[in-house]
Amino acid sequence: MSLSRNYEMMYVLRPDLSEELVSAAVTKYQDLLTENGATNIECDVWGRRRLAYPIKKFNDGIYVLVHYSGDGKQIAPVERMMRLSEDVIRFLTLKLDIKATAEPEPEPEAVEA
């Protein structure tokens, strides 16, 4: 039995892509995650935003945020596909810490002397 963890993936697409190409790219990566066993996939297209610094001579990019659950075997094939794609200019996958989503522990009260 494999352990299911939550992941967050952000990728930036070239700003000169049409809406059809953006939705095709989002669908392609979502399907690739599903084929590799990811569940609870949530995609959120943030749209075109200014980059902090130029990447491949682009000053803007189309940001896409993806949350999913999986065992970690999904990361390598998806990132490989993004690395080979000319439409993706940056990507990053993070493993979300379960404790980060839990309630914060209460602060200990100060004791006066």
The CA distance from 61 to 41, in Å, is 22
Number of independent structural domains in the chain: 1
Rounded CA separation 109/69 (Å): 37
- Domain assignment present for 69: yes
Q: Which residues contact 15 (CB under 8 A, 6 or more apart)?
A: 48, 58, 59, 60, 61, 62
Residue 36 lies in a domain: yes
**Edge-to-edge, what's the strand order for the sheet holding 5-13?**
39-55, 58-70, 5-13, 88-95
Q: Residue 111: inside a domain, yes or no?
A: no
Q: Is residue 23 part of a domain?
A: yes
Print the domain residue range for 42: 5-98
Tell me the CATH number at 9.
Answer: 3.30.70.60
pTM: 0.81
Over the stretch 47-100, which tens digit does the pLDDT of each residue have? 999 999 999 999 999 999 999 999 989 999 999 999 999 999 999 999 997 654
Q: Is residue 113 part of a domain?
A: no
What does the alpha-carbon distance between residue 75 and residue 82 come to, in Å, rounded to a whole number? 11
Asked whether the beta carbons of 32 and 41 are under 8 A apart, the reply is no
For residue 10, is it within any domain?
Answer: yes
105 domain residue, yes or no: no
User: Distance between CA 51 and CA 61 in Å, rounded?
Assistant: 6
Burial class of 19 by CB neighbour count within 10 A (0 to 12, 13 to 18, 19+): exposed
Domain-located, residue 59: yes
Q: Model confidence over 29-55: pLDDT tens digits?
A: 999 999 999 999 999 999 999 999 999
